[in-house]
Amino acid sequence: MGMPSLLLCGVSIALPLFVTADECKEIEMYNETISESQPFAFNCTYTLLTNMAVNLTWYKTFSKIPVTKNRQSRIHQDQTWILFLPLAQEDSEIYQCVIRNTDGCYSLPVNLTVYKKHSCGSSIRSPMNSLDDYQQILPIGKSGSLNCPLYFPESCILDSIKWYKDCEEIKMGKQFAPSGTKLLVDNVSAEDHGNYACTARLTHIGRQFTVRKSISVNTKEVGYGGRIPNITYPKNNSIEVQLGSTLIVDCNITDVKENSNLRCWRAHGTLVDEYYKDSKRIREGIETNVSLKDNIFYTMNITFSEVKMEDYGLPFMCHAGVSAAYIILTLPAPDFRAYLIGGVFALLLLVLSILCIYNSFKIDIILWYRSAFYSTQTIDDEKVYDAYVLYPKCPRESQGHDVDTLVLKLLPEVLEKQCGYKLFIFGRDEFPGQAVANVIDENIKLCRRLIVIVAPESSGFSLLKNMSEEQIAVYNALIQDGMKVILIELEKIKDYSTMPESIQYIRQKHGAIRWSGDFAEQSQCAKTKFWKNVRYRMPPRRYPPSSPVQLLKHPCSCMAGKWDVDMGFVTR
Ligand SMILES: *[C@@H]1O[C@H](CO)[C@@H](O)[C@H](O)[C@H]1NC(C)=O
Ligand SMILES: *[C@@H]1O[C@H](CO)[C@@H](O)[C@H](O)[C@H]1NC(C)=O
Ligand SMILES: *[C@@H]1O[C@H](CO)[C@@H](O)[C@H](O)[C@H]1NC(C)=O
Ligand SMILES: *[C@@H]1O[C@H](CO)[C@@H](O)[C@H](O)[C@H]1NC(C)=O
Ligand SMILES: *[C@@H]1O[C@H](CO)[C@@H](O)[C@H](O)[C@H]1NC(C)=O
Ligand SMILES: *[C@@H]1O[C@H](CO)[C@@H](O)[C@H](O)[C@H]1NC(C)=O
Ligand SMILES: *[C@@H]1O[C@H](CO)[C@@H](O)[C@H](O)[C@H]1NC(C)=O
Ligand SMILES: *[C@@H]1O[C@H](CO)[C@@H](O)[C@H](O)[C@H]1NC(C)=O
Ligand SMILES: *[C@@H]1O[C@H](CO)[C@@H](O)[C@H](O)[C@H]1NC(C)=O
Ligand SMILES: *[C@@H]1O[C@H](CO)[C@@H](O)[C@H](O)[C@H]1NC(C)=O
C-alpha cells in the first residue's frame, strides 16, 4: 500500500508543473518586431480579464520555464509586464502570458522577432528596419503631434526625450515643441513627412539605457480624420488562378467617416479602368459601403473576365488614400503526381526499348565490339585450335552428304578462310595411321570450343550409333570441364529424347543453332545470320599473325578495319 500511494502523491505534485499552459484557451498571437540592444517591455493586457484577483505568469514557450521575477535579471516579469533590459538577438522567440483566474485559464502568445540594430551612420537602410516603424499622420496646414511610443512599467523612469528627422536631431522652437512623450508640430506642410525617431533615457534601479523608436510619418490634406484607411483585404498576397479563367477579388477597406479618400484599383501605375479601357478585360467594380458605429466599411472588387499570361506576377494595387495593398496572380502549382507517374512511365518505356534493342542487336553489337576492340594477338591459353568439330559420320548418302559438306567445306570456308579461326576436324586434321582414341584425346584438349553437329534421327542416322563411344565419353568429360559447346542442328529435330543426355542438357541450357542456307561453297558469307550466330559463340576472334592482309581482301571477311564497322552495312 505504501508504494502506490507514494507514486500517486509524486504524480499529483509533478502534474501542475507539466500541464502549465497546455489546456489554456489561446488568444490570438501578437507579433512584435524590435531592434536589438534596447529595452523592451510588453504588457499582458486582455480586456476581458482586467478584473482583479488574477494570477499572471510569463513563460518562454519552448522551455516552459516561468520568466523570473528577479528585478536584477536581464529578462524578468514586472507585475503584468515582461521586461527585457536590454533585448538581445537571441531573444527572438514566442513568449506566453498565462492568465489564471477563478473561471479559467487563458494564454496570450507573443511572437518576438529581434533584428540587428539600425544605426543612423550606415548609409543603407535595411528593409527590416522599417518593420517596427510606427506609422503616424500629420494633417497638412494644421498643427499635429507625434507620439513617442514608450510603453514601460512604472519601475522604469523615462526622461531626456529627443526627436530626430532623417537621423538629424530636430531643433525645438518655431515649428516643433516637446510635450511629455509627444512632439507638437505646428503648421504642417507636405515636406514634413519622412522617417522620424525618438530616443529616451530609461532608468531602472540605477541602471541606464537608451530607447529608440522609429516613426514613419505621412502628411495628409485637411479633412482627413487623422487615421489612415485600413485595407483588410488584400494583404499583399498571391492568388493562384488558372489561365483563361474569370476572377473577382474584393478590396475591403475600413475608414473613418470624415475621411474622403479616393479608393481605386491600379495596375501599371494607372487606374485599371483607364489602362484596360479598350478591351475592358479587367474592370473595377462599383464601390459599396456599409456604415458602422464610427467607421465605414467599403468594398470594391476587381473583375478579370479572362486571366491572361501577362497578368501573372504583376501587382494589382488597391488604393485607399495613403494605404495600398496588392494581389499578385500566380499559376497554380503543377500537379506533382501526374509528373511523377509520367516520369516513371517514360523511364519504364526507355528501359524496355533499350532491352528490346539490345536483344535484337546483341549479336551484331558484340561482334562489332570484338572486331573493334579485341587485339589481334593470339590468346595465350596454351590452346592450338579454336574449335573441335564433332560430327556423325554416315556411310550412306543424302543426310550424310550434307553433314560432310557442312563440316569439310563450309565450316573451313567461313570460319577459317573468312574469319581466321583454326579448327580441328576429325577426318581431315589427324595424321594418317594414328589411333582414333589418341587423336581425340590429344587434340580435343587443345581446343577452346566444341562444335557438335546433330542431324535428325529419322533419316536413319543415329548420332549415338555413328559416333564412337570414345568420342562421346571424351565429350561428356569435357562438358564437365566447362568447355563451351556450340550445337548446330542440320534440320529441325523433333525428338531430342533419343539423344545422349548431355546433348539434351546443352540444348536446354544454351539452345542450338539451326542450319539455314544452301550448301554451295561459294555463296557462304560470314555476314549472314547463321554465321554471325556461330561467330558469336566462338571465342573472341584472333587473327593468325601471318595473314591479316589476305583476310581483309575477302569481301565477306569478319575482320574490320580500324574504322570499319562490321555490322553488315560497311564493307571494304
Ligand atoms: C501574428 O502572425 C501570425 C502569423 O505569423 C498571424 O496568424 C497572426 O494573425 C498575427 N497576429 C496579429 C495580431 O497580427
Ligand atoms: C498593463 O496590464 C494590466 C493588466 O492587464 C493593466 O491593469 C494595466 O493598466 C496595464 N498597464 C498599462 C500601462 O497599460
Ligand atoms: C495565485 O497564486 C498564489 C501562489 O502562487 C496563490 O496563493 C493564489 O491563491 C493564486 N490566486 C489565484 C486567484 O489563483
Ligand atoms: C514569428 O514571427 C516571425 C517573423 O515575423 C515569423 O517568421 C514566424 O513565422 C512567426 N512565428 C509564428 C509561430 O507565428
Ligand atoms: C505655414 O507655413 C507656410 C509655408 O510652409 C507659410 O506660408 C505660412 O505662413 C505658415 N502659416 C503659419 C500660421 O505659420
Ligand atoms: C485593420 O483591421 C484589422 C481587422 O479588422 C485589425 O486587426 C487591424 O488592427 C486594423 N489595423 C489598423 C491600423 O487599424
Ligand atoms: C470583403 O467584404 C465582403 C463584404 O462584407 C465579404 O463578403 C468578403 O468576404 C470580404 N472579403 C475578404 C477577402 O475579406
Ligand atoms: C463586384 O462588383 C459589382 C458591382 O460593380 C457587383 O455587382 C458584383 O456582385 C461584385 N461581385 C462580387 C463577387 O462581389
Ligand atoms: C455609401 O453608398 C451610398 C450609396 O450606396 C452613397 O450614396 C454614399 O455616398 C456612400 N458613402 C460614402 C461615404 O461613400
Ligand atoms: C503592401 O504593400 C504596400 C505597397 O508596397 C505597402 O504600402 C503596405 O504596407 C503593404 N502591406 C502589408 C500588410 O504588408
Kindly give the distance from the C-alpha atom of residue 31 to the centroid of ligand 4, in angstroms, as a whole number.
Answer: 7
Are 100 and 54 a contacting pair, CB within 8 Å? yes
Checking if the pLDDT of 173 tops 70, the result is yes
- Please report where in the chains the cell 484599383 appears, as a residue: 265
Find cell 595465350 and name the residue. 380
DSSP bridge partners of 157: 203
Does residue 61 line the site of ligand 4, with CB under 6 A?
no
Q: Report the C-alpha gap between 531 and 347 in whole angstroms.
A: 35
With the most atoms of ligand 7 within 8 angstroms of its CB, the residue from 231, 235, 250, 288 to mutate is 250
Residue 157 is predicted with a pLDDT of: 92
Q: Where is mean pLDDT largest: 46-50, 58-62, 347-351, 472-476?
A: 347-351
Specify the CATH class of 228-333 in words.
mainly beta
* Spatial distance between the Cα atoms of 125 and 118, rounded to a whole number of angstroms: 7
Please give the C-alpha separations between residue 8 and each of 3, 14, 544, in angstroms, as whole numbers.
9, 10, 96
**What is the average per-residue pLDDT within 216-244?**
82
Which residues are within 8 A (CB) of 428 and not within 5 positions of it... i.e. 6 or more apart?
408
Q: What is the pLDDT of residue 376?
A: 57
Does pLDDT of 3 surpass 90? no
- The CA–CA distances, whole Å, from 364 to 332, 368, 528, 562, 569 equal 50, 6, 11, 17, 11
User: Residues of 82-103 as b/e, b for ≥16 C-beta within 10 angstroms?
Assistant: bbbbbbeeebeebbbbbbbeee
Mean local confidence (pLDDT), 524-538: 84
Q: 3-state secondary structure string, 505-567?
A: HHHHHHCCEECCCCCCHHHCCCCCHHHHHHHHHCCCCCCCCCCHHHHHHCCCCCCCCCCCCCC
The CATH code for residues 17-115 is 2.60.40.10
Which pLDDT score is estimated for 364?
86
Instruction: Name the 3-class secondary structure at 68.
Output: coil
Looking at residue 552, its pLDDT comes to 53
Q: Identity (one letter) of the amino acid at 522?
A: Q
Mean pLDDT to the nearest integer, 84-107: 85
pLDDT of residue 489: 87
Rounded distance, CA 170 to CA 64, Å? 45
How does pLDDT run across 236-256, given as a tens digit for each residue?
999 999 999 999 999 999 988
| CA-derived radius of gyration, the chain | 49
Instruction: Give the ligand 1 atom nearest the CA of 31.
Output: 1
- DSSP one-letter code for 36: S
Pocket of ligand 7 (CB under 6 A): 233, 250, 252, 299
Helix 501-510, helix 469-481: angle, nearest 10:
40
For β-strands 385-390 and 423-425, DSSP reports them as: parallel
Window from 61-65, 305-309, 477-481 with minimum mean pLDDT: 477-481
- Average pLDDT estimate for 438-464: 70
Asked if pLDDT for residue 338 goes beyond 90, the answer is no
Mean pLDDT of 344-367: 91
281-319 residues labelled b (16+ CB within 10 A) or e (exposed): ebbbeeeeeeeeeebbebbbbbbbeebeeebeeebbbbb
- Among candidate residues 23, 168, 310, 469, the one labeled active-site is 469
Does the domain made of 126-222 have the CATH classification 2.60.40.10? yes
pLDDT tens-digit series, residues 310-325: 999 999 999 988 889 9
H-run or E-run covering 138: strand 134-139
Mean pLDDT of 343-371: 89
pLDDT tier at 438, thresholds 50, 70, 90? confident
Q: Which ligand is nearest to the CA of 299?
A: 7
| Torsion angle defined by CA atoms of residues 248, 254, 256 and 262, in that order, rounded to the nearest 10 degrees | -30
Strand 295-304 relative to strand 288-291, pairing? antiparallel
> How many Cβ atoms are within 10 Å of 325's Cβ, its own excluded?
21
Percent of the chain beyond pLDDT 90? Answer: 21
Quote the pLDDT of residue 123. Answer: 44
Average pLDDT, rounded, for the chain: 78
Nearest to 154 by CA among 208, 81, 56, 95: 81
Are residues 236 and 257 in contact, defined by beta-carbon separation less than 8 angstroms? no
Terminal CA-to-CA distance of the chain, rounded, Å? 104
Question: In 275-417, which ranges are E strands?
Answer: 282-284, 288-291, 295-304, 315-320, 323-330, 385-390
Is the CB–ligand 9 distance for residue 289 below 6 Å?
yes
Q: Ligand 4 pocket test: which of 92, 107, 113 has the largest number of ligand atoms within 8 Å of its C-beta?
A: 113
Q: State the average pLDDT over residues 252-264.
A: 83
Inform me whether the pLDDT recorded for 106 exceeds 60.
yes
What is the distance in A from the centroid of ligand 4 to the CA of 176? 38
Instruction: Find the 240 Cα to ligand 10 centroid distance in Å.
Output: 19
Clarify whether 442 is annotated catalytic. no
Residue nearest to atom 11 of ligand 5 (CA): 187
Looking at per-residue confidence, does 528 or 458 come out higher? 528
Residue 245 DSSP label? -
Residue 5 reports pLDDT greater than 50: no
The answer to whether the CB of 560 falls within 8 A of the CB of 372 is yes
Atom 3, ligand 9: residue with shortest CA distance: 289
pLDDT, residue 372, reads 75
**What does DSSP say about strands 288-291 and 282-284: parallel, antiparallel, or unpaired?**
unpaired
User: Phi and psi of 122, rounded to 5°?
Assistant: -70, 135
Please identify, by atom number, the ligand 6 atom nearest to the C-alpha of residue 135: 13
**Residue 101 bridge partners (DSSP):** 104
Instruction: Kindly state the helix (H) or strand (E) to which residue 203 belongs, with its residue range.
Output: strand 194-204
Cα-based distances in Å from 318 to 94, 257, 304: 33, 19, 15
Atom of ligand 9 nearest to the CA of 296: 13
Give the residue extent of every domain in the chain: 17-115, 126-222, 228-333, 360-567
Cα of 249 to ligand 8 centre, how many Å? Answer: 9
User: Hey, whose CA ends up nearest to atom 12 of ligand 1?
Assistant: 30
Instruction: Provide the pLDDT confidence category of residue 52 given band limits of 50, 70 and 90.
Output: low
Q: Residue 382: pLDDT band by 50, 70, 90 thresholds?
A: confident
**Nearest protein CA to atom 11 of ligand 9, as residue:** 289
CB of 324 closer than 6 A to ligand 10?
Answer: yes
Q: Starting at the earlier edge strand, list the strands of the sheet with 81-84.
A: 40-43, 81-84, 75-78
Tell me the CA–centroid distance for residue 252 and ligand 7, in Å: 6
Query: How far, in Å, is the centroid of ligand 7 from the Cα of 248?
Result: 11
pLDDT tens, residue by residue, 112-160: 888 876 666 554 444 444 556 778 888 787 777 888 989 899 999 998 9
Q: Is the pLDDT of residue 107 over 50?
A: yes
* pLDDT, greater one: 226 or 200: 200
CATH number (3.40.50.10140, 3.40.50.720, 3.40.50.300, 3.40.50.2000) of 360-567 reads 3.40.50.10140
Q: Order of strands across the sheet with 182-185?
A: 144-147, 182-185, 176-179
pLDDT band, very low/low/confident/very high, at 390 (cuts 50, 70, 90):
confident
Question: Per-residue confidence at 225, pLDDT binned at 50, 70, 90?
Answer: very low
Domain 17-115 and domain 228-333, same fold? Reply is: yes
Q: Which ligand is nearest to the CA of 283?
A: 8
Percent share of the chain, pLDDT over 70: 77
